[in-house]
Structure 1
Amino acid sequence: MADRVAEAMQDLYAVGPDEFMATRSRLVADAKAASDKAAATEIGRLRKPSLAAWAVNLTAREAEDVVADLVDLGERMRSAQSRLDAAALTGMRKERDATVEVYVRAATRAVSDAGRSLSPAAQQEVRATAIAALADERASAAVTSGQLTRSLSYSGFGEVDLAEALARTTGGAILTVVPGGRGSRPAGRPGGGRKPRDQQVDDATAGVERAGDEGADEAAGDGATGDAAAELRAEREAELEEAERRLSDAERAVAAARERAEETRERLAVVERQLAKAREADERALEAVTDAVRERKQAQAARDDARQALAD
């Protein structure tokens, strides 16, 4: 079963959003035709990714170098953070901004090449996902998995919430990752000593609560047959589509709000630095006033002495 589901996940999360439901139904039917009911159930539970999540998945396949740069920078930033190396983090700020911009452009280009487009809101979700990957090792592994179902975001503290963000089986395991397109290349970066990406994802996501599967048993159930089963499945898929649309709208709103919060924090940091510089300048000005007053008193005393000497 595991091999069949893993192959199905590679196929399913490589197709465009418009093809997802039909492809999943076909894969479920193929599994049933092969008398693999367990695999059919697992495949039927796989969730459709949002547009932004699909863009991230597509980027993992189509822009490996860009993704590798994002992962590498995230490792260096987290290392500096663990050492409390503020100077190193400050020095990487421009690189961070540039790397995120390159990633968003790569995702936008990959989506365009696939015949779709990313709205400004979806681009913001992709940007928020890239920032989350820089901040959190588990999020980084999720971004390279090619199996996101929703975008990610980082609030500036704590861990990134991965609940319902990754394609998983009933047991919570992530079966496969597909960097380079359908697993055709080794998952690790060439020449590196890192674990394969699928092991990274399994390790990094250990302990994450698995997503709820409300309604999934009915959608992939084996008890219904014929027209009744088809109608029930169509009804459940329509309900799932609506729920996913609402979730996608909510995720976009959260991502936009957190992006605004981050911008506000950045502006606040700039103002605080400017205020610190202004206070330093004020202190220097007060010192200059004190020195000038002292020199004036000394000049006055010298003048008075000179006048007294002249009078004598």
Structure 2
Amino acid sequence: MPEVSPALTEALQALYAVEPDAFMAARRERVAAARAGGDRESATEIGKLRKPTVAAWSMNLLARQAPEVVDGLVTLGSRMRAAQARLDAATLTALRPERDEAVRRFVGATADLAQGSGRTLAPAALEDIRATAVAALADEGASTALSSGQLTRALSYSGFGEVDLSEAVARTASGAILTVVSGTGGAHADGGADEETGEQAAGSQPASAEARREELEDELAAAQRRLQQAEATVVEAREHADDTRQRLAVVERQLTKAREADERALEAVTDAVRERKQATAARDAARQALADAESGADDPT
């Protein structure tokens, strides 16, 4: 487990507390301060910290200013996962109203804090926040990431497996780095001269261009996550459709057999009715013959 330097720890605490628009400038200041202090390694790591999306920033704000809301969600998730491990369907069903209320409270509290900071969250951001709450309920790693207050993007749970935390959080609440963000290779073999040059080149880019690049990277990552989730949904829908078609085929076969049985039953009814008519006619003929015979016997002529 990599050691977190004091400069990096302070940067993590500070950077993920600032608003997204101020992140890039604050990060540059932290990089410059670490470099000025001779801590080039921390300067490099700080320079690689990703700017959070608006949804991630608002949830980080919630983790800092209303931790009881996050704690309530995390605790409920532990109870739900324990019940799931026991295959305790009754408890899971009983917890459903509490789950819905916890998610609603989480989304509402996050939106309120963002509103208090001058931001109105878009419907897409609110959906990302709700998806993160569901992920935290389902997965222990996701709940730890949420509690850290250092999310860089929203989380999502597809309904199976673990939640993907890649490039989603800088570190856990205990200080251990969960994910090393992209481009975190070590120093070059020449002792870091290229690293220094790269940092200076990055620092020389116009702030607006750098911010725009970060936004495009976030949009691309979000689009890729949505595509993966959509593909998983398609697979699940196809499996459900196949199962439905199989069950329909069974029902259709049963229906065909039932119709054949019904036709045979109707034929049997028809035959029985015909036989009854014949039996009735035979009885009536026999009665008439008997009556005629008795009438002839009584006739003296």
TM-score (norm 2): 0.67
Query: Structure 1 residues 229, 75: CA separation in 2 closer, same or farther (over 3 Å shift)?
Result: closer
In structure 2, the partner of 1:292 is: none
RMSD: 3.2
* Amino acid across the alignment from 1:243: E
Pairs within 5 Å for 1:92-131: 92-131=95-134
What per-residue deviation string (whole Å, max 9, x for no partner) do you get for residues 12-51 of structure 1?
Answer: 0000000000000011111111111111101000001111
Shift of 1:162: 0.7
Pairs within 5 Å for 1:2-151: 2-151=5-154
Contact 1:8 1:27 in 2 (8 A): yes
Cα distance in 2 for residues equivalent to 1:224 and 1:121: 35
* Amino acid across the alignment from 1:137: E
Cα distance in 2 for residues equivalent to 1:125 and 1:102: 15
Cα distance in 2 for residues equivalent to 1:122 and 1:44: 26
Shift of 1:65: 1.3
Shift of 1:57: 0.8
Contact 1:50 1:248 in 2 (8 A): no
What per-residue deviation string (whole Å, max 9, x for no partner) do you get for residues 144-200 of structure 1?
Answer: 001111100011111111111111xxxxxx3x63xxxxxxxxxxxxxxxxxxxx17x
In structure 2, the partner of 1:242 is: 216
* Amino acid across the alignment from 2:204: E
Shift of 1:249: 4.8
Contact 2:50 2:181 in 1 (8 A): no
Stretches of structure 2 lacking an aligned partner (at least 5 in a row): 242-301
In structure 2, the partner of 1:222 is: 196
Cα distance in 2 for residues equivalent to 1:25 and 1:130: 31
Contact 1:45 1:216 in 2 (8 A): no
Shift of 1:253: 6.8
Cα distance in 1 for residues equivalent to 2:185 and 2:216: 13
Contact 1:69 1:99 in 2 (8 A): yes
Larger Rg: 2
Stretches of structure 1 lacking an aligned partner (at least 5 in a row): 168-173, 178-197, 269-312
1:156 corresponds, among 159, 162, 165, to 159
Identity %: 47
TM-score (norm 1): 0.65
Query: Structure 1 residues 138, 111: CA separation in 2 closer, same or farther (over 3 Å shift)?
Result: same
Query: Structure 1 residues 8, 66: CA separation in 2 closer, same or farther (over 3 Å shift)?
Result: same
In structure 2, the partner of 1:288 is: none
Contact 1:129 1:151 in 2 (8 A): yes
Does 2:183 align with 1:213?
Answer: yes
How many equivalent residue pairs?
A: 227
In structure 2, the partner of 1:188 is: none
Q: Which gives a bigger RCO, structure 1 or 2 (Cα 8 Å, sep 6+)?
A: 1
Cα distance in 1 for residues equivalent to 2:32 and 2:11: 12
